[in-house]
């Protein structure tokens, strides 16, 4: 009788995300200045508002998160909302504002796409396309983002097993697009204490099974501002390759999910702590132009 030895985990892969102007990079030698990497030697922080609301809001937030040390900007232009009568996002106008904030801050941006017919439009603006948790098994959308050639941030469904998450990623990979970054963002559970239940053990469990980078979203998972920083630090300790967090200059005025947004000052403090902690896990905080470096390693 022998000790159970799990199969060796796959060698982690680095995924590069192009510069804010949209240059696509597929190989190390072509990694342009300004691109960002997700991989085993970095910890990549994506930050920004839940939804793009106004030019001022997104510009202010982008500059603040860039100054604090975020490597990428996030923000929703097309918002998946439970009710058709809630704010649905600014759509194409929101993409323009994100692009402007991206140029101003120097941060590439990721934004969600909801409809396969919008993939071209979104891919023309964004450095990375997000498939949200509600759409993790929207196979038409997965195929379309696969064909777009853009890197894809694929969030785990709120009741998806890891098997299903990996199978969903295959829909993108099967189109020849291997730049997929997985994201754990909490699953449905019975306790209303937090919005979802953040499954941090999914990070090392996925690591045993896939070479794809793995992010954590502590904002949507917990739904509570005061839990975001502890869970972001825990994500790093659990082996994640980065986080995606919500930051809003005035959370109380946010049109969606203000309750879970960090203030810029809290975010600044969090990034400092992550940067100090990262070397313990043989990582450095990704900088906005760290892609080239990552690719050359």
> What span, in angstroms and rounded, lies between the C-alpha atoms of 185 and 196?
8
**261 touches 64 (CB < 8 A):** no
Q: HSE of 150 in the Cβ direction (CA atoms, 13 Å)?
A: 31
> C-beta of 189: minimal distance to its own copies in Å?
6
Query: Closer CB to its own copies, residue 27 or residue 280?
Result: 280
> C-beta of 54: minimal distance to its own copies in Å?
16
| Ranges within 225-264 binding its own copies (CB under 8 A) | 225-227, 230-231, 233-239, 250-253, 259, 263
**113 touches 134 (CB < 8 A):** no
- Mark residues 68-87: x for contact with its own copies by CB under 8 A, - for none: ------------xxxxxx--
Whole-angstrom CA distances from 92 to 33, 97, 245 are 27, 9, 23
> C-beta of 64: minimal distance to its own copies in Å?
16
277 lies in the site for its own copies, by CB under 8 A: yes
> What span, in angstroms and rounded, lies between the C-alpha atoms of 88 and 154?
21
Query: Closer CB to its own copies, residue 207 or residue 288?
Result: 207
User: Which residue stretch of 26-34, 55-63, 96-104, 219-227 sits at the interface with its own copies (rule: CB under 8 A)?
Assistant: 219-227
| Ranges within 112-131 binding its own copies (CB under 8 A) | 114-117
- Check the CA dihedral 273-276-281-283 and report its sign: positive
Q: Bridge-partner residues for 80, per DSSP?
A: none
201 lies in the site for its own copies, by CB under 8 A: yes
Among 93, 139, 265, 296, binds its own copies (CB under 8 A): 139
Q: HSE of 229 in the Cβ direction (CA atoms, 13 Å)?
A: 16
């Amino acid at each position: 009788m022998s000790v159970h030895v799990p199969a060796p985990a796959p060698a982690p892969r680095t995924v590069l995300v192009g510069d804010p102007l949209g240059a696509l990079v597929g190989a190390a030698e072509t990694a342009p200045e300004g691109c960002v990497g997700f991989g085993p030697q970095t910890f990549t922080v994506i930050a920004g508002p839940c939804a793009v609301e106004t030019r001022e809001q997104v510009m202010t937030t982008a500059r603040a998160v860039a100054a604090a040390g975020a490597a990428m900007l996030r923000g929703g232009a097309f918002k998946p909302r439970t009710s058709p009568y809630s704010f649905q996002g600014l759509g194409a106008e929101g993409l323009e504002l994100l692009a402007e904030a991206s140029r101003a801050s120097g941060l590439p941006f990721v934004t969600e796409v909801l409809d396969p017919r919008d993939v071209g439009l979104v891919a023309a603006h964004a450095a990375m396309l997000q498939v949200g948790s509600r759409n993790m098994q929207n196979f038409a959308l997965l195929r379309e983002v696969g064909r777009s050639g853009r890197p894809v941030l694929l969030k785990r469904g709120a009741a998806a097993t890891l098997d299903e998450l990996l199978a969903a990623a295959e829909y993108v990979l099967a189109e020849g697009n291997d730049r997929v970054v997985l994201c754990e963002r909490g699953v449905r559970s019975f306790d209303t204490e937090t919005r979802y239940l953040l499954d941090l053990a999914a990070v090392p469990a996925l690591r045993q099974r896939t070479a794809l980078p793995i992010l954590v979203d502590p904002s949507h998972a917990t739904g509570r501002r005061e839990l975001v920083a502890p869970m972001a630090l825990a994500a790093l300790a659990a082996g994640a390759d980065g986080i995606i967090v919500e930051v809003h200059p005035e959370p109380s005025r946010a049109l969606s999910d203000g309750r879970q947004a960090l203030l810029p000052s809290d975010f600044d403090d969090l990034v400092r702590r992550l940067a100090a902690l990262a070397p313990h896990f043989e990582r450095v905080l990704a900088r906005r132009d760290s892609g080239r470096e990552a690719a050359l390693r």
